[in-house]
Structure 1
Amino acid sequence: MASKRVIVETENAAAPVGPYSQAVVVDKTMYISGTLGVDPKTKELVPGGTVTQAKMALTNIEEILRSVKGTMNNIVKITVLMVDINEFAGVNDVYKTFFQSNFPARAAYQVAALPKGARIEIEAIAVLGDIDDYELA
């Protein structure tokens, strides 16, 4: 039986800056593309640097999830790319406003540059549908 692929696009999140989709769902797994801190209304990076761009990027991810009836709780893995890893404490402060428990697995890297001169880019993997949380024995 073939897997089902669905391309996800919503006007409530920033449009891709190249030839890729905001997200792709295969079966129940959603792969959310690297997302910048771009305001979907102005199509420009939000002013204020890494922290405000992180908040906008996570808001865009939240809107992508919402478009398929998901929430941030559906995220199981996040990758954070930053131009300056020394700004990670501020990013963590923003991150904690989107995730209070059941934190997804995460990796963070410093990179030389990002599209549009962005300070941060965030990508995510989510599992759609109900998720039952439990502890391993």
Structure 2
Amino acid sequence: MELINSDSAPTAVGPYSHASVDAQGNIYVSGCLPMKADGSLVEGSIAQKTDAALSNLESVLKMAGSDKSKVLKTTIFLVDLGQFAEVNEAYADFFAGHKPARSCVQVSALPKGVDIEIEAIAQA
């Protein structure tokens, strides 16, 4: 197993790595928050926050030797499922032409008080 940490993504907010890669080349990306590389939170619409979380996901994938076209599954955690349509639009733009399996669940709270977190499983 290989542990991945990207200098282009914000530092993990807990005792975990950005991702891990198993012996079969599967990449498990930890939840990505809408944060800048310096650790500050991204402000703005849920679409802007979705873009930021996905950008961090892309940085981690790149560090692991992969890219968004190799994502097999994502999980989106949302504090307000009423924002689903706006998140969906930003997500569809990011994964244009590639539609990995996905789950989206509403949660009561997320780290740092953010309203979205996205994790993924990809191939190397």
Q: Give the TM-score range, shorter chain.
A: over 0.9
Alignment RMSD: 1.0
Structure 1 residue 37 corresponds to structure 2 residue 13: no
Q: 1:52: how far off?
A: 1.5
Q: Report which of the two structures shows the higher radius of gyration computed on alpha carbons.
A: 1
* Rounded Cα–Cα distance in structure 1 between residues aligned with 2:50 and 2:105: 14
Structure 1 residue 75 corresponds to structure 2 residue 71: yes
* Rounded Cα–Cα distance in structure 2 between residues aligned with 1:23 and 1:81: 17
Structure 1 residue 97 corresponds to structure 2 residue 97: no
Q: 3-state DSSP class of the match of 2:30?
A: strand
Residue number in structure 2 paired with 1:62: 58
Q: Looking at both structures, which has the greater relative contact order when contacts are Cα pairs under 8 Å and sequence separation is at least 6?
A: 2
Q: Structure 1: any 5+ residue segments left out of the alignment?
A: 129-137
* Shift >4 Å, 4+ stretches: none
Structure 1 residue 8 corresponds to structure 2 residue 1: no
Q: Structure 2: any 5+ residue segments left out of the alignment?
A: none
Q: TM-score, normalised by structure 2?
A: 0.95
What one-letter code is carried by the residue in structure 1 that aligns with 2:11? Answer: A
Identity %: 39
* Rounded Cα–Cα distance in structure 2 between residues aligned with 1:26 and 1:68: 11
Q: TM-score, normalised by structure 1?
A: 0.86
What one-letter code is carried by the residue in structure 1 that aligns with 2:56? Answer: N
Q: 1:55: how far off?
A: 0.6
Q: Please show how residues 22-33 of structure 1 align to structure 2 within 5 Å.
A: 22-27=18-23, 28-33=25-30
* Rounded Cα–Cα distance in structure 2 between residues aligned with 1:24 and 1:49: 30
* Rounded Cα–Cα distance in structure 1 between residues aligned with 2:17 and 2:99: 25
On the 8 A contact 1:51/1:90 being kept in 2, the answer is yes
Q: 1:80: how far off?
A: 0.2
Q: How many residues align?
A: 123
On the 8 A contact 1:77/1:125 being kept in 2, the answer is yes
Deviates more, 1:79-88 or 1:45-54: 45-54
